Amino acid sequence: MIPEIQAGGVVGYDDGLYYPHHNVYWITSKGWNLRALQAILRSGIALEQIRAFSVQMRGGSVRYQAQVLRKLRVPLASSISHKLQSELAAVSGSNDQSQIDSLSAEAFAL
């Protein structure tokens, strides 16, 4: 789940217990481990893409609108090893941004 207006990097996870209200986007996937995808979407790489495509708001916030989210480029889940997907999933809720960025860079093959 992704709030529409934010400073960046806020990507939550819900097991399907809640209904997202207005100004919140949600992503589903049959191919991705959603925790691993959460980590990638929280990465600095994803945030830079959002900043490039998004409207800049006062105070440095950006809008995670549907048309912006559609432009995001992430690696194919099938191109990422199961080991790396597990490592990404393990840090998905972490406050260690450097670990998220490091693993995401590896997923993007940077």
Please count the structural domains in the chain.
1
Q: What is the pTM of this model?
A: 0.90
Mean pLDDT of 72-79: 95
* pLDDT band for position 31 (cuts 50, 70, 90): very high
Task: Please state, in angstroms and as integers, the Cα–Cα distance from residue 103 to each residue in 29, 42, 95, 107, following that order.
Answer: 20, 11, 14, 6
75 or 56, greater pLDDT: 75
For residue 26, the enclosing domain spans 2-107
pLDDT of residue 20: 79
Q: Which two tokens stand for residue 17?
A: 């217990």
Q: Which amino acid is at 5?
A: I
Mean pLDDT of 72-100: 96
Q: What are the pLDDT digits (tens) for 39-48?
A: 999 999 999 9
